[in-house]
């Protein structure tokens, strides 16, 4: 069964890989028209290779494409004489599947909370319900990675990565929002969805984890199904599902009694020893 689940995941994710159409461009008047580019399917990447004689035109062309093609990711290679064009998930696709993405966000939040409590219990760590980040940051450098139950973990930045050894499901649990563990980073959210086999096959394909994820979050915010929240740091914000049991998120105050010795932000974040 273990082998079957892993094989099923790999096979499905392989289906989400794009095919690439390569166009070798020797003259700028042979550049494909906007109408052709607009109609490329989302499962295709358009790679345009520029002849040496017209390489200098790449940057101007990319600017022109970005101004005329919304809902596309257009990148210019810093070394190779090429630009790459892909179509991103559309507003219509997101709106059609809004209930799916809302459900995924709820699942993300629920699993994140369960893993944090399991982590604290297994590690026999005193849990700070006001600032759970203290628990994670105290482990940086000594027990920064390891295993609890069926999950491997790795503490980094403002997240703790959990990867299920059996199912290969991935989730990055945020710990800078008090007891709110549902903050949705575009890339991490898409990784969670694509690695959760119970969602397969997806109702809509996701090819660009960050760019498609960013568009999904933007549209879901506009629909009111996601909302912005502040974190323990006043200037740091996040995005969570709107339909949830809301929790109060406290702000860090370096005069609080729980900081002994006096709180040092750089040291707390692991940027200073």
Taking alpha carbons only, the member of 54, 49, 47, 52 closest to residue 29 is 54
Mean pLDDT of 29-54: 95
Give the DSSP H/E element, type plus range, for residue 37. Answer: helix 34-38
Who wins on pLDDT, 168 or 235?
168
The pair phi, psi for residue 130, each rounded to 5°, is -80, -45
- Cα(147)–Cα(246) distance, integer angstroms: 30
Which DSSP helix (H) or strand (E) runs through 191? helix 186-195
Q: Give pLDDT tens digits for 196-206.
A: 999 999 999 99
| Alpha carbon distance 153, 100 (integer Å) | 27
With vertex at residue 186, the alpha carbon angle to CA 252 and CA 159, rounded to the nearest 5 degrees, is 40
The pLDDT assigned to 8 comes to: 56
pLDDT digits (tens, 9 = 90+) for 7-22: 555 566 666 788 999 9
Tens-digit pLDDT profile for residues 73-113: 999 998 899 999 999 999 999 999 999 999 999 999 999 99
């Amino acid at each position: 069964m273990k082998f079957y689940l892993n094989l099923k995941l790999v096979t499905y994710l392989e289906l989400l890989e794009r095919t690439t159409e390569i166009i070798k461009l020797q003259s700028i008047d042979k550049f494909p028209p906007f109408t052709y580019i607009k109609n490329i399917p989302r499962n295709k990447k358009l790679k345009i290779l520029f002849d040496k004689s017209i390489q200098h035109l790449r940057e101007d062309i990319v600017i022109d494409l970005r101004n005329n093609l919304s809902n596309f990711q257009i990148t210019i290679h810093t070394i190779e004489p090429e630009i790459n064009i892909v179509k991103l998930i559309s507003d219509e696709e997101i709106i059609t599947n809004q209930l799916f993405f809302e459900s995924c966000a709820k699942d993300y939040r629920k699993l994140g909370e369960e893993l944090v409590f399991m982590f604290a219990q297994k590690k026999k760590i005193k849990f700070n319900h006001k600032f759970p980040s203290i628990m994670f940051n105290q482990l940086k450098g000594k027990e920064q990675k390891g295993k609890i139950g069926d999950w491997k973990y790795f503490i980094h930045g403002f997240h703790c990565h959990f990867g299920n050894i059996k199912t290969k499901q991935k989730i990055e649990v945020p710990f800078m929002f008090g007891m709110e563990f549902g903050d949705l980073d575009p890339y991490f959210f898409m990784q969670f969805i694509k690695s959760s086999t119970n969602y397969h096959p997806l109702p809509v394909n996701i090819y660009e984890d960050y760019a498609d994820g960013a568009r999904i979050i933007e549209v879901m915010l506009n629909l009111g199904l996601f909302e912005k929240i502040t974190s323990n740091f006043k200037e740091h914000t996040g995005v969570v599902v709107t339909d949830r049991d809301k929790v109060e998120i406290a702000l860090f105050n370096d005069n609080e009694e729980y900081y002994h010795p006096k709180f040092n932000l750089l040291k707390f974040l692991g940027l200073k020893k």
